[in-house]
Amino acid sequence: MAGFKLKTRKAAAKRFRKATANGKIVRSKGAHGHFLAKRGQKARLSAGTTYVHDSNFEAVNKLVPALGAKRKRSKYIAKQLKRVMAAATAAATAATDAVKNLVK
């Protein structure tokens, strides 16, 4: 039995163009469409992009599933967790070695 196909909302796809390798969804900042002549050069050039906030991540990810942001984020978090666990294990091993050296 085949599952249903996840479809992208086209209006959202135009606003959220890509996901980073860490699973963050990139969006463009507002208030940079017109009336730029009276702004300074820094204000015009800093239009740029930012990331979707964590509280809105699930909603945006449902609208644009083709970005694969959730999969990328899960892989990134798993990699971070693995790194933290390895550091904790190394610290625990060092602590037990230090205690053994003190007991001798």
- Judge contact between 65 and 12, C-beta under 8 A: no
- Judge contact between 38 and 61, C-beta under 8 A: no
- Tell me, what's the pLDDT at 16? 92
**Pairwise CA distance, residues 85 & 66, whole Å:** 31
Asked whether the predicted pLDDT for residue 94 surpasses 90, the reply is no
pLDDT, tens digit, for every residue of 9-51?
Answer: 999 999 998 999 999 999 988 877 788 888 888 888 777 788 9
Instruction: Name the residue ranges covered by the structural domains of the chain.
Output: 10-103
What confidence tier does 1 reach under pLDDT thresholds 50, 70, 90? Answer: low
Q: What is the pTM of this model?
A: 0.68
